[in-house]
Amino acid sequence: MMSRLDALKVLFKYTENIPVISSCGNTSREWASLGRRDNHLYMVDTMGLTPSVAIGVSLALENKEFKKCIAIEGDGGVLMNPNAFASAGYLRPKKWLLIVFDNECFASTGGQCSLASRLDIGKVAQGYNLEVIQVETADAFEHAVQTSIEKDGPIVIHAKINQENQKNPFINDDPAVLAYKFSCFLSQ
């Protein structure tokens, strides 16, 4: 099974010009370790909100050139705010692509077991009338990212990953600066 960092390295290759919003904790820290970009919005708190913010950005960008707005969220975060599934299913934002990294645990807080160990998040998303692509390997993930970017959403990539965690520096930036850079990128 791939690690989250393996998957993030793949995603990094295809998203130089695509807004990407990453969830708090180790996901944003690993994502930032690959290289800071203004098209990245790193969430430093508010676990589970990433898919909702990406819905808003996707709607705002409907008439712009960006192919997608990508949200990265973990299994714990998605189950904390499944309302975003409801909104995406209802609003059908074409540019919304959610990547759920599912390691069936809360890796950032020590690996405690999450509810995803007994639930299939992909099936949950399908229940909200969302297209779901389920992957377990880096090759399948790469193919899913490539194809999803080119077609209309809303789409969920449900990626099973192992429980490996990289130790990277905390993202302790002023959130106002993070948002300003991201907003300037979106306004181009």
Partner 1 sequence: MTTFRDLACEEIIKGIEEVEPDYFLSIPCSTVGPVIEHFEKSDKVTSFPVSREEDGVGIAAGLSLGGKLPIMLIQDTGIGNSILAITTFAQAYHVPMLILVTRRGGFGEINSAVNLFSEPLPRILDDAGVKTFKLDYRLPLKEWSVAIKQAAQYAKDTHRPIIVMFNIKGGAEQ
CB 88 within 8 Å of CB 130: yes
Which of 7, 61, 145, 156 forms a contact with partner 1 (CB under 8 A)? 61
Which of 41, 52, 149 has the alpha carbon at shortest distance from 94? 149
Our finding on whether 97 is near partner 1 (CB under 8 A) is no
**Cis omega (within 30 of 0) for bond into 154:** yes
Q: Which two tokens stand for residue 142?
A: 């790469």
Q: Which is nearer to partner 1, 139 or 180 (CB)?
A: 180
Phi, psi (degrees; rounded to nearest 5) at 159: -110, 115
With DSSP H G I counted as helix, E B as strand and the rest as coil, what are the percentages for the chain, rounded to 5? 45, 20, 40
Least Å distance, CB 44 to partner 1, is 8
Which of 8, 49, 72, 171 forms a contact with partner 1 (CB under 8 A)? 49
Least Å distance, CB 179 to partner 1, is 4
CB 136 within 8 Å of CB 1: yes
Our finding on whether 186 is near partner 1 (CB under 8 A) is yes
Our finding on whether 179 is near partner 1 (CB under 8 A) is yes
Collapse the DSSP code of 42 into the 3-class scheme (helix H, G, I; strand E, B; otherwise coil) and give the result: strand
Q: Which is nearer to partner 1, 3 or 39 (CB)?
A: 39
Site for partner 1 in 27-46 (CB under 8 A): 41, 43-46
Total chain residues near partner 1 (CB under 8 A): 35
Q: Which residues bind partner 1 (CB under 8 A)?
A: 41, 43-46, 49-61, 69, 81, 83-84, 86-87, 90-91, 175-176, 178-180, 182-183, 186-187
